[in-house]
């Protein structure tokens, strides 16, 4: 099974590093003395974080501004990361967003963009960077999936579809590569306190938002689970209990409960760039 004994001096590429879980993962890797490439669209955030990471202990931290929705962007990011790091030991596939709402009322282009960022960019980065890890018999990939990976999620159905893909794909890769020394882990956060909900435009009063978990422990679990070579990591006792219970329930019932929890009709507040 792939294990990472230390992140010290490892070359790590973190997508979606400009806020939330990705930014906290970058800080944790920095504290362990990794070399970092941080990517997202917001340049000011990336530059500030790169400076902070260097202060925290990263050997170096390079920001790469890229919109993973654009054609050629994942290839560009992979190439730039290898140029800076020599090779990429650890890939954190974290960039992602949701398009909530009644499916047919959502913006089609935005939904397709979500599939390109959440799914296609993650697949392309892994496909480009995994062979090097396998050759070197070390390193790993952390795919940030979701609790929404495990069941239908009405009013964010396509988003849950992208996360179901990430979980199943990641679990499959874990099994394919577990004897190569490369760790492949899916992190499945529940509702977490980041910019995610504002970016997507979930209504502030939405019931599920009351249970937001702190971001840092989620990031810590991801970094630790990857180092230990775990296949999946679910943060929080409540999420683990919910998962256990829902596995005993019919899928139809789980989907119906999920619809009641989601409720409301979201309106985006942060426009896509
Ligand atoms: N928060 C939750 O409750 C929750 C629960 C389960 C799973 N997740 C997953 O956790 C991951 C991180 O989300 P978060 O909660 O930390 O939310 P967040 O604070 O909104 O972070 C999302 C990150 O993705 C980046 N991103 C979005 N679109 C992008 C694009 N087109 N190209 C490049 N980067 C892009 C954003 O950077 P820019 O805007 O600067 O590009 C940002 O750094 C996502 O995959 C999300 O699906 C979150």
Does any domain span residue 146?
yes
pLDDT given at position 272: 53
Is 177 labeled as catalytic in the residue annotation?
Answer: no
**pLDDT for the residue numbered 1:** 75
Domain contains 272: no
Residue listed under structure tokens 């935005």: 110
Instruction: Check if 199 has its Cβ closer than 6 Å to any atom of ligand 1.
Output: yes
Task: With respect to residue 157, please indicate whether it lies within any of the assigned structural domains.
Answer: yes
Question: Which residue is closest in CA terms to ligand 1's atom 2?
Answer: 192
Q: Which among 7, 159, 177, 202 is annotated as catalytic?
A: 159
- Whichever domain contains 49, its CATH number is 3.40.50.720
Which one of 15, 73, 95, 217 would you pick to mutate in the ligand 1 pocket, going by the greatest count of ligand atoms within 8 A of its CB? 95
33-42, 230-239, 258-267: the lowest-pLDDT one: 258-267
Domain-located, residue 166: yes
Answer yes or no: is 4 within a domain.
no
> Does any domain span residue 239?
yes
How much is the mean pLDDT over the chain?
94
* Residue 111 structural domain: 11-262
Give the model's pLDDT for residue 132.
98
Residue for token pair 């501004």: 65
Kindly report, residue by residue over 12-58, the tens digit of the pLDDT.
Answer: 999 999 999 999 999 999 999 999 999 999 999 999 999 999 999 99
Band of pLDDT at residue 269, cut at 50, 70 and 90: very low
Q: Which of 33-42, 176-185, 187-196, 254-263 has the lowest mean pLDDT?
A: 254-263
Any atom of ligand 1 within 6 Å of the Cβ of 195: yes
Band (pLDDT 50/70/90 cuts) for residue 225 is: very high
The answer to whether 223 touches 28, Cβ cutoff 8 Å, is yes
| Residue 2 belongs to a domain | no
Percent share of the chain, pLDDT over 90: 87
Q: What's the number of domains the chain is made of?
A: 1
Instruction: Summarize pLDDT for 48-71 with one digit per residue, the tens.
Output: 999 999 999 999 999 999 999 999
**239 CB within 6 A, ligand 1:** no
Q: What pTM does this model have?
A: 0.95
**Could you write out the three-class secondary structure of the chain?**
CCCCCCCCCCEEEEECCCCHHHHHHHHHHHHCCCEEEEEECCHHHHHHHHHHHHHHCCCEEEEEECCCCCCCHHHHHHHHHHHHHCCCCEEEECCCCCCCCCHHHCCHHHHHHHHHHHHHHHHHHHHHHHHHHHHHCCCEEEEECCHHHCCCCCCCHHHHHHHHHHHHHHHHHHHHHCCCCCEEEEECCCCECCCHHHHHCCCCCCHHHHHCECHHHHHHHHHHHHHCCCCEECCCHHHHHHHHHHHHCCHHHHHHHHHHHHCCCCCCCCCCC
pLDDT band at 177 (very low <50, low <70, confident <90, very high): very high
Nearest to 271 by CA among 209, 198, 206, 204: 198
Quote the pLDDT of residue 204: 58
Asked if residue 162 has its Cβ within 6 Å of ligand 1, the reply is no
48 belongs to a structural domain? yes
**pLDDT of 4 strictly over 80:** yes
Ligand 1 atom at minimal distance to the Cα of residue 198: 20
Task: Give the tens place of pLDDT for each residue, 150-166.
Answer: 999 999 999 999 999 99
Tell me the per-residue pLDDT of 98-132, one tens digit each, with 9 for 90 and over: 999 999 999 999 999 999 999 999 999 999 999 99
Q: Is 192 in the pocket of ligand 1 (CB under 6 A)?
A: yes
Q: Mean pLDDT throughout 175-198?
A: 96
Question: For residue 151, what are the CA distances in angstroms to 40, 111, 146?
Answer: 28, 19, 10
Mutate to test the pocket of ligand 1, among 13, 21, 66, 217 (most ligand atoms within 8 A of CB): 21
């Amino acid at each position: 099974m792939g294990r990472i004994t230390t992140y010290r001096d490892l070359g790590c590429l973190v997508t979606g590093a400009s806020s939330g879980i990705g930014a906290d993962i970058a800080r944790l890797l920095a504290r362990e003395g990794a070399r970092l490439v941080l990517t997202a669209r917001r340049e000011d955030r990336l530059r500030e974080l790169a400076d902070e990471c260097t202060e925290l202990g990263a050997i170096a931290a390079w920001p790469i501004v890229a919109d993973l929705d654009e054609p050629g962007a994942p290839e560009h990011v992979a190439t730039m990361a290898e140029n800076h790091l020599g090779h990429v030991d650890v890939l954190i596939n974290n960039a992602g967003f949701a398009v909530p709402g009644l499916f047919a009322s959502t913006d089609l282009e935005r939904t397709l963009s979500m599939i390109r960022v959440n799914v296609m960019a993650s697949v392309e980065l892994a496909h480009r960077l995994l062979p090097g890890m396998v050759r070197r018999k070390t390193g790993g990939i952390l795919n940030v999936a979701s609790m929404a990976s495990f069941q239908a999620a009405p009013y964010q159905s396509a988003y849950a579809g992208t996360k179901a893909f990430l979980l199943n794909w990641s679990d499959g890769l874990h099994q394919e590569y577990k004897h190569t020394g490369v760790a492949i882990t899916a992190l499945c956060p529940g509702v977490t306190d980041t910019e995610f909900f504002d970016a997507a435009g979930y209504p502030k009063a939405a019931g599920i938002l009351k249970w937001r978990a702190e971001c840092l422990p989620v990031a810590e679990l991801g970094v630790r689970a990857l180092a230990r070579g775990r296949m999946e990591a679910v943060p929080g006792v409540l999420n683990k209990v919910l998962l256990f219970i829902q596995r005993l329930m019919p899928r139809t019932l789980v989907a119906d409960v999920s619809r009641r929890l989601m409720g409301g009709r979201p309106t985006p507040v942060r426009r896509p760039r």
